[in-house]
Amino acid sequence: MRFRAKIVDVACLNHFTRVINTIAKLAKTCTLRLTVDKLYFILTDKVANGGVSMWCELNQGNFFDEFQMEGVAAEHNEIYLELTPENLSRALKTAQNAKTVKIKLTNKHCPCVTVAVELPSLSSSSRIVTHDIPVGVIPRRLWNDFREPSVPDFDVSIYLPVLKTMKSVVERMKNLSNCIVLEANLNGEMNLKIETDLVSVTTHFKGLGNPPWVSEDGSQNSTQDRDPESMAEARIDIRKLLQLLAGQQVNPTKALCNIVSKRIVHFILLHEEVSLQYFIPALA
Amino acid sequence: MRCLVTGGNVKVIGKAVHSLSRIGDELYVEPTEDGLSLRAVNSSRSAYACFLFAPLFFQLYEEGSLDPDGETFRCKVLMKSFLGVFRSLPSLEKMVEKCLISLNPRASRLVVQLHCKYGVTKTHNLSFQECELLQAVFDKELCANTLRAPARVLVDAVVHFPVTLAEVTLGVSPAGKVSFRNYLDEETEPSRTMVTELCLSEDEFQDVQVQQQSHVTFCLKEFRGILSFAESSNLPLNIHFDSPGRPAIFTLSDPLLEVHLVLATLSDPNSSSQVHSTTLQARPANGAFPTATPDDDFTGDDIDSYMIAMESTCEEGLGLPSSPTFPQRHPHPGAALESQSSAMESDLEGAVPGTPPQKKFRSLFFGSVLTPSQAGTHPGPSQDVLAEDSEGES
């Protein structure tokens, strides 16, 4: 099992750092899956997470100048690691003006992802900072736990409002209630509602647009039969929603959510080189 | 005592107080003929800093008359109070034209008066306590290793470590490599904690003198305090250190100001000799030459319990310490402490512990200086209680 990668371009480094920062805000620990072409940051739904799950996919070619990966075996050419993204975020934080950043899998006192940053210095030789981040190697028999989640059979799919606006609305609502109702219809309308004994607050968004989904067999999507005014709703933990919104450092190219009434909300945020899916289950 | 600071020097005093506030809760103020000294020590006596401002630093410097015993006036004030006067450095820079520090004996107050723009004068009357001399015993000439670097290099070095990191290990090798690494104490699990190491080459330093490979571990918080002062004053920082367990000394100097920071370092629990004999030349407080200290320096006087805040180190605990401890300091009959004081015995075991230190740095190297009037007295447990310490626990 070997992994070595190098980033030389400053813009790539900044971008990669921002992705890691976003992941760090969403999960305390998560799984990093390495394949020949991609990196995946995966969080599976567990009671400990409050049932949220995450799937984030990056094309390695968009970030790394060099990328060498040898998986556990020839026919299973992948590596699964458990790590704390906050550590990676901290390591990259002070590396933004680096000449090169190398990331490799090492075995120091335990398996580690070592981030070696070569920094410019006034002297002839560069300054080197190494960060050894302990990781856990996930054995092959557990790999099935980390499969890509399928898009749920949703009732409504809708584009999200500008995330910054949505975030500031949700932030203020957080002070009033722990749960928020997210509802939307096929007319491009979305409401964010909180309701307590003393007060209820609703923010209405209009004209958002609904993404055209085509199901795999090409047949008409069942949602076409749905009354466009009818709202699909889910009551979710407001802090989880805020975590997702607050973690975004850059405006995504596309941001949408799929609502399965009273069951789950599936968020999809697409950037040029990164896709992030986040599932928040509905509260009972 | 009267000291008048003007212009940009006001901000320098302010920054000095900020650095000292990272060390201890009390500021020791002592005007001497060499200048005004501001000092602080932390509760576990593992960090000491002294800023000595030469008389020329001030527009007006009157150290004041000596008291009947021939001693200069010394006092300590609450750091919080003194820092409050200088809290906002930007506004100090913008608004304060002059700062007058003086003693008002009638009101028993240390007066800090800020003369600001637009005719505004802010007068702070701080209550003080008279106190013993606070002086750490150390001698940088005895340290085997010396580094000198511009503060910027060191600031850039520690930026890679999290703000919450407690201790950092500085390592040097004769080949000229200098490294900083975060220290993991025994409570942290190595398989779960990130380890960060920064390597600098000796080219980045103005001076590197290393006798043999060594590493010392000290508190980062106090080090950062002096680094930020060094950076703003644009002075290079000197680091003198030796083997683990011996204090590390950080100095800055320029014609008007001398800064010393002395930090205890963790001793290596695997070292063969548990008991270090440190032949430190005592640093004289008032210019007098000390008698040679053949053996360990040790902390003060269990009578002046307020000053000690020392925890007793028991013989048994030295077997194979599970945590790094400081080497036991054995009271040595006849060994002298620093300055003109006579030989003094300190019974470590009897010392009253002060605030228990959170870390395992033990109190180390302080000498309590006896006044000349007590010179010649061989102190024993029946020594007179020094009247100044009215708030001491007894």
Do B162 and A130 lie within an 8 Å CB cutoff? no
Q: How far away is chain B from the Cα of A85, in angstroms, using its nearest Cα?
A: 11
> Are A249 and A22 within 8 A, CB to CB?
yes
pLDDT of residue B364: 46
| B268 CB-near residues (< 8 Å, 6+ apart) | B243, B244, B245, B324
Tell if the CB–CB gap between A121 and B190 is shorter than 8 Å. Answer: no
| Residue A128 included in any domain | yes
The 8-class DSSP code of residue A223 comes to: G
CB contact (8 A) between residue A123 and residue B193: no
Whether residues A106 and A161 fall in one domain: no
Contact A127 B199 (CB under 8 A): yes
SS3 A56: strand
R_g of chain B, CA atoms, integer Å: 21
- What confidence score (pLDDT) does residue B289 get? 29
Per the structure, the complete domain to which residue A244 belongs is given by 156-281
Cβ contact (<8 Å) for B195 and A125?
no
Contact assignment for B203 to A131 by CB distance below 8 Å: no
Check CB contact under 8 Å for A125 and B196. Answer: no
Q: Is residue A51 part of a domain?
A: yes
The reply to whether A38 and A117 lie within a common domain is yes
Interface list for chain B against chain A, based on CB atoms closer than 8 Å: 153, 156-157, 159-160, 162, 190-201, 203-204
pLDDT value of position A224: 61
Instruction: Give me the pLDDT at residue A98, please.
Output: 92
Verify that A209 and A274 share a domain, yes or no: yes
In chain A, residues with a C-beta closer than 8 Å to the C-beta of B160 are 94, 129
**Cβ A91–B190 below 8 Å, yes or no?**
no
Local confidence pLDDT in tens for the 394 residues of chain B: 899 999 999 999 999 999 999 999 999 998 888 999 999 999 988 999 999 999 999 999 988 776 667 677 788 999 999 999 999 999 999 999 999 999 876 778 899 999 999 999 999 999 988 888 878 778 888 888 999 999 999 999 999 998 888 899 999 988 888 999 998 887 778 788 899 999 988 888 999 988 888 899 999 989 999 999 999 988 999 999 988 888 999 999 899 999 999 999 998 765 443 333 332 223 333 333 233 333 333 332 223 222 222 322 333 333 332 233 333 333 333 322 233 222 222 333 333 444 444 444 544 455 433 333 433 344 334 344 444 444 544 4
The 10s digit of each residue's pLDDT in A189-223 is 999 999 999 999 999 999 999 998 876 655 545 55
Q: Measured between CB atoms, which of A94, A108, A130 is closest to B159?
A: A94
H helix or E strand, kind and range, residue A90 = helix A85-93
How many Cβ contacts (< 8 angstroms) between chains A and B?
Answer: 55
CA distance A49 to chain B (A): 20
Q: Helices B220-233 and B9-21: crossing angle, nearest 10°?
A: 170
Amino acid at site B84? G
**Shortest distance, CA B153 to any CA of chain A (angstroms):** 9
The residue among B194, B201, B205 with the most chain A CBs within 10 A of its CB, best to mutate, is: B194
- Taking CA A140 as the corner, what is the angle to CA A135 and CA A145, rounded to the nearest 5 degrees? 85
A113-117: long-range pairs with CB below 8 Å, 24+:
A113/A32, A113/A81, A113/A83, A113/A88, A115/A88, A115/A91, A117/A91
**Long-range pairs, B102-110, Cβ under 8 A, ≥24:** B102/B1, B102/B2, B102/B3, B103/B1, B103/B2, B103/B64, B103/B73, B103/B75, B110/B29, B110/B75, B110/B77
A46 inside domain: yes
Please identify, among A146, A181, A206, the residue that sits at the C-terminal boundary of a domain.
Answer: A146
Residue A66 maps to a domain: yes
CATH number (domain holding residue A225): 3.70.10.10
Q: Are residues A31 and A118 in the same domain?
A: yes
Q: How far apart are CA B142 and CA B46, in angstroms?
A: 19
Please indicate, yes or no, if residue A232 is contained in any of the structural domains.
Answer: yes
Could you tell me if A165 and A259 lie in one domain?
yes
* B232 residue type, one letter: S
Q: Which of B153, B191, B198 sits opposite A129 (nearest CB)?
A: B198
Contact state of A134 with B190 under an 8 Å Cβ cutoff:
yes
Is there a single domain that holds both residue A111 and residue A226?
Answer: no
Under-70 pLDDT residues of chain A: 215-224
Measured in residues, chain A has a length of 284
DSSP A37: S
Which residues in chain A are closer than 8 Å to B198, comparing Cβ atoms?
A: 127-129
Q: Do A90 and B194 touch (CB under 8 A)?
A: yes
Burial class (CB in 10 A: 0-12, 13-18, 19+), B54: middle
Reported ipTM: the value is 0.85
Q: What are the residues whose beta carbons fall under 8 Å from the beta carbon of B356, sequence distance 6 or more?
A: B44, B311
**Phi and psi of B263, rounded to 5°?**
-120, 140
A21 three-class SS = helix
Phi, psi of A22, deg, nearest 5: -65, -45
Side by side, the strands of the sheet bearing B60-62 are B60-62, B2-6, B96-104, B109-116, B121-127
Looking at the domain assignment, is residue A151 inside a domain? no
DSSP structure class, residue A217:
T
| Closest A-chain CA to B206 | A123
Of B160, B194, B199, the CB nearest to A94: B160
The answer to whether residue A113 is domain-embedded is: yes
How many whole angstroms separate alpha carbon A112 and alpha carbon B376? Answer: 62
pLDDT in the model for residue A218: 54
pTM: 0.76
The verdict on A116 and A165 lying in the same domain is: no
Give the per-residue SS3 of chain B: CEEEEECCHHHHHHHHHHHHHCCCCEEEEEEECCEEEEEEECCCCCEEEEEEECHHHCCEEECCCCCCCCCCCCEEEEHHHHHHHCCCHHHHHHHEEEEEEEEECCCCEEEEEEEEHHHCEEEEEEECEECCCEEECCCHHHCCEEEEEEHHHHHHHHCCCCCCCCEEEEEECCCCEEEEEECCCCCCCCCCCCEEEEEEEHHHCCEEECCCCEEEEEEHHHHHHHHHHHHHHCCEEEEEECCCCCCEEEEEEECCEEEEEEECCCCCCCCCCCCCCCCCCCCCCCCCCCCCCCCCCCCCCCCCHHHHCCCCCCCHHHCCCCCCCCCCCCCCCCCECCCCCCECCCCHHHCCCCCCCCCCCCCCCEEECCCHHHCCCCCCCCCCCCCCCCCCCC
Give the distance from residue B198's alpha carbon to the nearest chain A alpha carbon, in angstroms: 4
CB contact under 8 A, A131 and B204: no
Look at the block and give the residue holding tokens 């006034």.
A122
**Do the Cβ atoms of A121 and B204 come within 8 Å?**
yes
Which of B153, B160, B195 has its CB closest to that of A132?
B195
Specify whether A16 is located in the same domain as A105: yes
Residues A11 and A136 in one domain: yes
Q: Which pLDDT score is estimated for A215?
A: 65
- Which domains occur in chain B, in start order? 2-130 (3.70.10.10), 145-263 (3.70.10.10)
CB within 8 Å of B91: residues ≥ 6 apart: none
- For the stretch A143-153, pLDDT in tens is 998 999 989 89
Question: Under an 8 A CB cutoff, do A124 and B203 touch?
Answer: yes
Cα(B268)–Cα(B244) distance, integer angstroms: 6
Tell me the three state secondary structure of residue A41.
strand
Q: How far is CA A226 from CA A46, A154, A221, B258, in A?
A: 32, 11, 10, 80
Token output for A100? 């090169």
pLDDT for A54 equals: 94
Reference A62, options A242, A257, A273, A271; nearest CA is A273
How far B128 CA lies from chain A's nearest CA (Å)?
43
- Cross-chain residue pair A90–B191, CB shorter than 8 Å: no
Query: Out of B153, B191, B196, whose CB is closest to A131?
Result: B196
Backbone angles phi, psi at A280, to 5 degrees: -120, 120
- A100 CA to chain B: closest CA distance, Å? 15
End residue of a domain, out of A127, A146, A165: A146
What's the confidence (pLDDT) of residue A121? 81
Contact list, B152 vs chain A (CB under 8 Å): none
Does one domain contain both A183 and A116? no
Three-state secondary structure readout of B30-66: EEECCEEEEEEECCCCCEEEEEEECHHHCCEEECCCC
**Of A146, A164, A183, which marks where a domain is finished?**
A146
Contact B190 A123 (CB under 8 A): no
B-chain residues near A107 (CB < 8 A): none
A155 DSSP 8-state letter: S
Quick check: is A62 in a domain? yes
A136 DSSP β-pair partners: A82
- CB contact (8 A) between residue A134 and residue B194: yes
- Contact (CB, 8 A) for B50 and B259: yes
Q: Which residues contact A260 (CB under 8 A, 6 or more apart)?
A: A152, A153, A154, A155, A232, A234, A266, A282
Query: Which helix (H) or strand (E) segment is A233 a member of?
Result: strand A232-237
d(CA B134, CA B338): 11
Question: What is the number of domains present in chain A?
Answer: 2
Is B195 in Cβ contact with A108 (below 8 Å)? yes
Our CA angle for B230, B42, B275, nearest 5°, is 105
- Residue A119: count of CB within 10 angstroms of its CB: 20
How close B170 gets to chain A, by Cα (Å)?
A: 14
Which residues from A are below 8 Å from B when comparing CB atoms?
87, 90-91, 94, 108-110, 121-125, 127-134
**CB within 8 Å: B204 and A110:** no
- How far, in Å, CA of A30 to CA of A87, rounded? 12
A124 in the same domain as A187: no
Same domain for A170 and A93, yes or no, is no
In Å, what is the CA distance from B296 to each residue of B46, B299, B346, B357? 16, 10, 11, 22
Contact indicator for A81, A51 with CB cutoff of 8 Å? no
A116-160: pLDDT as tens digits? 999 988 777 888 999 999 999 999 999 998 999 989 899 999 999
Residue A44, number of CB atoms within 10 A of its CB: 15
Q: What is the pLDDT of residue A245?
A: 93
Cβ-nearest to A110 among B162, B191, B200: B191
> Is B194 within 8 Å of A91 when comparing Cβ atoms?
yes
Q: How many CB atoms lie within 10 A of CB A124?
A: 8
